[in-house]
Chains A and B, each alone.
Chain A
Amino acid sequence: MKGIGKGRGSLLLVLLLGLACLTAQADDLIMVRSAQDFPETMLALQEAIKAEGYQIARVQRVDIGLTRRGFKTDKYRVVFFGRNEEISRLIRQQPELAPYLPLKISIFAEGSETLVVTMNPLILAELYPDSPARPVFRRWAQDVQRILRRIRVAQ
């Protein structure tokens, strides 16, 4: 058995880069780790959402009984947010968008740190390639990036 030759190695790399474009892109999910604990990060998250001009619709607990099931944390929430006019207009234009709305960010504790995760709204442009709302998806993506950046620098 011969080890892989250099030529074949770089060919493989080219093929793989092609493959990588098809599989997950790094920023399909936007994530941030906060060195602050859950309550403080939750506060920072809600403030960041409001600071970017969005309204928080609801904070949903997803963690009832998590510790009973062997999880070390019971701090897991999903924060739903959006702007009513925008969401209403989009759903009127294209009702099929509704299952992905309103926007949401999940937040959960990991020890004394906290992780904040959300889908990049740009994915919506990929999921709905013909959508007239593409410019809105792009703006949401920038806003969500900024929200998570605010949490990162809040520490």
Chain B
Amino acid sequence: MRVVQYSLSLLLMIWLVLPAWAAEPDGRTLYEENCAACHGLRGFGGVGVPLALEGFQRVVTDEYLRKTIRLGRPGRVMPAFTRLSDDEVHAIIAYVRSWNNIPSPVYSDTPVRGDAAHGKQLFARHCAACHGPEGIGGKGTGVTFSRPREAPLIAPALNNAGFLAAASDAILRQTLLNGRRGTPMPSARELGLSDQDINDVVAYLRTLGKGTPELTDWETEPTYLVVETDIPIEQAVENVKRAVLGVNFRLIRIQYLNQGLVPAGKENRQQVIVYFCNFDFLYEALAIDPRVGIYLPCRITLVREGGVTRIMAVNPKRISRIFNNRELIRACGEMKEIYEQILDEASL
């Protein structure tokens, strides 16, 4: 009898708890799917800054984390997570908090008042060496540990619209007051700044971000680059090879597009990919952002269909958007010019 009673109440408990449990988004899985690639499996950093540090978690509010996840850091690699549900964002924050069990701090929302002009001078003297002139951020965001970089941790951009919208005056103030122990970020005391100095710097930070260029030049860019010609594909391939060498790139490989997907000898000979490279260029691109490797080595695709030979390439400027990395813009622009030059040459 007793046993039956126990099992019944146990079943009831499972029945009550299970649906709620199943419906609750799993913060750890969501974190591992969306954040771990950059911030590390347990928040110790990597491409992104560490999130597991006590000194960080004590200072930032859940609201700061929420806005950072939603807005990202435009142009600084950290993406904007607009497709996650509110519950999912919540679950990620709860998971991040579970590493140290530090609750979200409570701040007064009185704005900080200070002298921005004085703050500007202080910033140039004490902060710009790491955070860049006008807070544009340290160079090299988005790189991994797999290559050397100037500092183990790159100072974030402070003129960033996503950052400024996420951080309240109080969070800025507290960050300066404490610094971030375990990172190069010093405290106000270490820098010899008074309370009023801190307020002045916060007032200055609030003036930043007005002039940051938007990452919008991709919008008017075509999806792909193409020239059309009526020359046969074999001739067009020869032209491309010559054009590649003409811009000082090396041919790596010439293959049919569906090679490897069909048995040898059965390939479609009217679809060819020419792979080529210039090692300086490749290293430079990978050094800025290793993720661009998906578009390497450089390639030109030729397709003959309906009596027309199309010589085509992806448009690196259009693609650059998905990396959300302002430092890639120049390299992508250069690559686009090289592709255009090759296409022009090859169609002559």
Contacts and interface: CB of A to CB of B under 8 A. Distances in A.
B135 interface: no
Interface in A100-120: 100-102, 104-106, 108-111, 113, 115, 117-119
A124 to B, nearest CB: 9
Contact of A31 (B38, B83, B253): B38
Contact of B83 (A27, A69, A80, A84): A27
B260 A24 contact: no
B257 A102 contact: yes
Contacts of B322: 24, 28-29, 119, 123
Given A26-B84, A70-B148, A108-B146, A1 B293 contact: no
A133 interface: no
Contact of A6 (B41, B109, B262): B109
A140 interface: no
A142 interface: no
A106 B37 CA distance: 13
A95 B210 CA distance: 43
Nearest to A65: B279
Contact of B111 (A2, A82, A127, A128): A2
Contacts, number: 224
B293 A78 contact: yes
Nearest to B36: A33
Contacts of A33: 32, 36-37, 40-41, 46
Interface string B149-191: 0000000000001100100110000000000000000000000
B41 A24 contact: no
A95 B84 CA distance: 34
B293 A19 contact: no
Contacts of B161: 16, 19
Contacts of B34: 26
Contacts of B81: 26
Contact of A110 (B144, B203, B215, B260): B144
Contact of A3 (B202, B255, B268): B202
Interface in B76-91: 79-84
B206 A3 contact: yes
A84 B262 contact: yes
A10 B319 CA distance: 31
Contact of B147 (A72, A100, A102, A115): A72
Nearest to B260: A57
Contact of B318 (A56, A83, A127): A127
Contacts of B225: 99
Contacts of B132: none
A95 B70 contact: no
A70 B284 CA distance: 11
B257 A58 contact: no
A83 to B, nearest CB: 7
Interface class of chain A by DSSP = mixed
Nearest to B116: A1
Contact of B145 (A3, A29, A82, A111): A111
Interface string B125-148: 000000000000000000011111
B261 A108 contact: no
Contacts of A96: 223-224, 226, 310, 312
Interface string B52-83: 00000000000000010011101100011111
A22 B214 CA distance: 10
Contacts of B38: 31
Interface in B303-343: 303, 305, 310, 312-314, 318-319, 321-324
A96 B227 CA distance: 11
Given A1-B114, A4-B206, A24-B323, A82 B72 contact: no
Interface in A22-41: 22-29, 31-33, 35
Nearest to B204: A1
Interface of B: 32-34, 36-38, 40-41, 46, 67, 70-72, 74-75, 79-84, 109, 111-116, 119, 144-148, 161-162, 165, 168-169, 202-204, 206-207, 214-216, 219, 223-226, 253, 255, 257-262, 268, 271, 275, 279, 282-283, 286-287, 290-291, 293-294, 296-297, 299, 301, 303, 305, 310, 312-314, 318-319, 321-324
Given A57-B260, A71-B147, A96-B310, 7 more contacts: A3-B112, A3-B169, A26-B81, A29-B79, A57-B258, A96-B312, A113-B41
Of all A-B residue pairs in the complex, the 6 with the closest CB atoms, nearest first, are: A3-B111, A57-B260, A24-B324, A31-B37, A20-B80, A28-B322
